[in-house]
Homo-oligomer: A and B are copies of this chain.
Amino acid sequence: MADALAGGDLLTVFGRCAVDYEGRASSTLGPGDRHVTAKPDGTVLVHTDEGQQPVNWQPPGCSQRVERDADDDALRLVSTRANPDEELVVAFESVRQVSAFAVDDGESLSLTGSEADLRQRILESPGLVEPGFQPLVTERRTAAGAVDIFGEDADGNVVVVELKRKRVGPDAVGQLSRYVDALERDLHADATVRGILVAPSVTERARRMLAERGLEFSAVEPPGED
């Protein structure tokens, strides 16, 4: 088992265990049946029978080792990392299955429908934002961070576009607002800066917040399957 850990295999253990974590936060989990995965990149995942997220975990890059208790011969998986200093201990009281798999996987995921795809769509058809909109730069830096699309409208006004791939809430309004404020500062007071939130839809509270700040919304869907 220690060989598998050292040899680049993906290791899985199913059994009854208790889990302790100490690091950015602290947690304890009493005994129960769980599925534990230790990946060759240092990742550790502890899964119960419910939920998409692991109940405990350790990120890639961690050091992992298997210990066997001198007294009761019980199995323990210990994973540690520095910066931040964190430790995860999975203490098994019984083990039902241990497996080691050699993994051959050369393929990587191809995904469409992301914000990057929406940006591409806007750059190809700027009129989707509004007639006459002209993109000038993407990722333009401001004192408040990088603007998704920086451009100008049909009248030559500066336009800041913030993109979201799905329905937006107050957080996106805050983001757009920060960028508009920062640009008005950067460009002094000589230019009108319009802020347009581009997303499939907007929540009611976000719509009110946009109105209060003089910001706008334009409905555009991210590209679907092609």
Contact = CB atoms under 8 A, between A and B. Distances in A.
Interface of A: 10, 12, 14, 16, 22, 24-35, 37, 39-41, 43, 45, 47-52, 55-57, 59-60, 96-97, 99, 101-114, 143-145, 165-166, 170-171, 173-175, 177-178, 205, 208-209, 222, 224-225
Contacts of A175: 171, 174
15 contacts: A10-B49, A12-B12, A16-B104, A22-B225, A29-B109, A32-B104, A32-B105, A32-B106, A34-B103, A34-B105, A39-B47, A45-B47, A97-B101, A173-B178, A174-B178
Nearest to A172: B174
B103 A33 contact: yes
Contacts of A41: 49-51
Contacts of A108: 29
A33 B104 CA distance: 5
Number of identical monomers bound together in the oligomeric complex: 2
Given A14-B101, A49-B39, A101-B96, A27 B174 contact: no
Contact of A27 (B40, B109, B224): B109
Top 9 A-B pairs ranked by shortest CB distance? A25-B113, A32-B105, A174-B174, A30-B107, A49-B103, A27-B111, A33-B103, A32-B107, A26-B225
Given A32-B105, A52-B57, A170-B178, 10 more contacts: A12-B35, A14-B99, A28-B110, A29-B110, A32-B106, A40-B50, A43-B51, A97-B99, A99-B99, A178-B209
Contacts of A178: 170, 173-174, 209
A52 B58 CA distance: 8
Contacts of A50: 39-41, 43, 60
Nearest to A112: B26
Query: Which residue among A51, A99, A170, A174 has the maximum number of chain B CB atoms within 10 Å of its CB?
Result: A174
Contacts of A10: 35, 49
A35 B37 CA distance: 10
